[in-house]
């Protein structure tokens, strides 16, 4: 759909003294957690596969748990452990000495009758395991996994005394073949949604206990609390990072007449609305931005390697938000894409005995197109409650430490992309004058005389916020017959 104008509402402080967005011609890209919708980017992910991938999932869980346990031993409670779970972690990322120790722990853990049975029965009885159900299984094996790790660390002298000694594996044997057949019978009788709600009640119960423990501890032992209570749920949540890259977004709108939008994004009508003219292409509307990270280069100076981040221009597509969400189910095991193929294959699709999974994706062009379609679909939809925004968003995909700072997440636009500014109903005259002064300089520097100012007003006939052109603020282009100094029309 061709769009002639797109609007970006800004508080005056952001445009002027706080961030100088107008002077710098900057657009800030937000992280999903900074957005106003708590279910932003939600996807319907499930886990379905054979015993090979399920064994590898439990093995990967154990690996991430071991790394956090080692961090806990070293740091204890001297400081909070940041980024406690890295879903892209593989065995090769461990120090060579710890690789050998992990293999010993892993063999004992995965060869236990309980873990072997749960791996076999999940793949046999459960078609689609939800995130809630996965957390349920992980929570049930969690203490056994912790005990397996600390028991071995104590044995090799890396930890004085295993604080989880005495854990009774008999308590885990209730999740046996009968358990899974019962789950299936109940699902057939009452439906998948009711079964999911039943498991969620179990999860919510443990979450409530965890919250009470946090209240009682008053953050005295946050790392230990995370190790014991939060790890299973957080691991499940973080697994999505193995499927899709992290992303950032900048939000625009195709309509500027909604009073609620002016009230919230326009700070109670005291802000302004930037009017952009997108570039039209065959597949949509675009804008070119500068400051995009496109690689890094290293140079050795006085024996020290100096890393330089290379930045440049890129054309970004405006993605229209869909307010009728399509929750397409996605199988995690068929969507792992954030690791090199060799690491994916070795970590997830071949077991310790060399058996290959039957669900290894082809990773061909068709798979790739479908994968990215699912990615963008998930981050370009919101519930109907937000439909009044008429949002279009720019999206940056990022890996690792890319765009880690506010400066990196702030890109710049060509001033000629900005066609006008709408002053809010309550924008102060002082702020208007400051904005006009900056724009006047920009117009001269960029020879961009196709620029207009507008004033917002309440339309009694429609009940909407409309705007009219402030024709007196049109700046003239210098000609040989006029003064070189540009001034507003009379």
Give the per-residue pLDDT at 477.
80
b/e burial code for range 94-132 (CB count within 10 A of at least 16 → b): beeebeebbeebbeebbebebbebbbbbbbeebeebbbb
Give the per-residue pLDDT at 487.
45
Q: What is each CA distance from 65 to 99, 131, 144, 228, 350, in whole angstroms?
A: 14, 18, 11, 10, 21
pTM of structure = 0.85
214/462: higher pLDDT: 462
Mean pLDDT over residues 135-143, rounded?
89
Give the count of beta carbons closer than 10 Å to the beta carbon of residue 152: 20
Report phi then psi at 26, rounded to 5.
-105, 150
- Whether the pLDDT of residue 53 is over 80: the answer is yes
98's CB contacts (< 8 A; 6+ apart) are 66, 70
Give me 192's structure tokens: 């998948």
**Which residue is it, tokens 């992309």?**
417
Are 230 and 85 within 8 A, CB to CB? Answer: no
DSSP state of 242: G
b/e burial code for range 199-216 (CB count within 10 A of at least 16 → b): bbeebeeeeeebeeebee
Give me 468's structure tokens: 């009219």
CA distance 287 to 118: 51
Are 12 and 270 within 8 A, CB to CB? Answer: yes
Mean pLDDT over residues 155-181, rounded?
75
- Whether the pLDDT of residue 483 is over 60: the answer is no
DSSP state of 475: B
215/94: higher pLDDT: 94
Are 67 and 448 within 8 A, CB to CB? Answer: no
Q: What is the mean pLDDT of the chain?
A: 89
């Amino acid at each position: 759909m061709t769009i002639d104008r797109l609007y970006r509402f800004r508080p005056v402080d952001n445009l002027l003294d706080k961030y100088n967005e107008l002077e710098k011609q900057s657009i800030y890209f937000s992280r999903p957690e900074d957005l106003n919708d708590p279910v932003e980017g939600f996807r319907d992910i499930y886990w379905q596969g054979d015993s090979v991938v399920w064994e590898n999932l439990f093995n990967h869980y154990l690996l991430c748990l071991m790394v956090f346990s080692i961090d806990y031993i070293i740091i204890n409670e001297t400081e909070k452990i940041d980024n406690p779970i890295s879903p892209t972690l593989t065995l090769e990322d461990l120090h060579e000495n710890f690789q050998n120790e992990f293999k010993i722990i892993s063999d004992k853990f995965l060869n236990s009758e309980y873990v072997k049975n749960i791996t076999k029965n999940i793949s046999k009885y459960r078609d689609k395991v939800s995130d809630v159900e996965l957390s349920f299984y992980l929570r049930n094996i969690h203490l056994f996994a912790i005990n397996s790790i600390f028991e071995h660390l104590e044995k090799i002298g890396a930890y004085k005394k295993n604080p989880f000694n005495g854990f009774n594996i008999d308590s885990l044997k209730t999740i046996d073949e009968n358990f899974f057949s019962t789950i299936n019978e109940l699902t057939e009788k009452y439906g998948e949604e009711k079964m999911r709600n039943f498991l969620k009640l179990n999860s919510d119960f443990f979450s409530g206990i965890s919250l009470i423990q946090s209240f009682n501890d008053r953050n005295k032992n946050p790392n230990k609390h995370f190790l014991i209570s939060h790890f299973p749920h957080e691991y499940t949540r973080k697994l999505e990072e193995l499927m899709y890259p992290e992303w950032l977004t900048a939000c625009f709108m195709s309509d500027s007449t909604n009073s609620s939008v002016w009230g919230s994004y326009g700070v109670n009508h005291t802000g302004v609305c930037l009017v952009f003219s997108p570039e039209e292409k065959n597949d949509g509307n675009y804008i070119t931005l500068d400051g995009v990270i496109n690689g890094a280069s290293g140079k050795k100076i006085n024996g020290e390697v100096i890393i330089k981040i290379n930045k440049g221009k890129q054309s970004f597509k405006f993605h229209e938000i869909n307010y009728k969400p399509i929750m397409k189910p996605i199988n995690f095991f068929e969507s792992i894409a954030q690791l090199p193929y060799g690491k994916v294959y070795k970590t997830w699709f071949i077991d310790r005995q060399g058996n290959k999974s039957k669900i290894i994706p082809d990773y061909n062009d068709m798979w790739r197109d479908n994968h990215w379609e699912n990615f963008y679909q998930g981050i370009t939809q919101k519930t109907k409650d937000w439909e009044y925004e008429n949002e279009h968003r720019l999206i940056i995909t990022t890996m690792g430490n890319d765009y880690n700072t506010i400066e990196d997440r702030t890109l710049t636009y060509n001033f000629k992309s900005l066609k006008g500014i709408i002053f809010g109903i309550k924008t102060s005259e002082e702020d208007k004058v400051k904005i006009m002064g900056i724009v006047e300089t920009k117009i001269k520097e960029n020879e961009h005389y196709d620029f207009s100012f507008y004033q917002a007003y309440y339309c009694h006939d429609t009940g909407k916020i409309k705007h009219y052109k402030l024709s007196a603020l049109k700046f003239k282009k210098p000609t040989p017959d006029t003064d070189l100094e540009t001034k507003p029309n009379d």
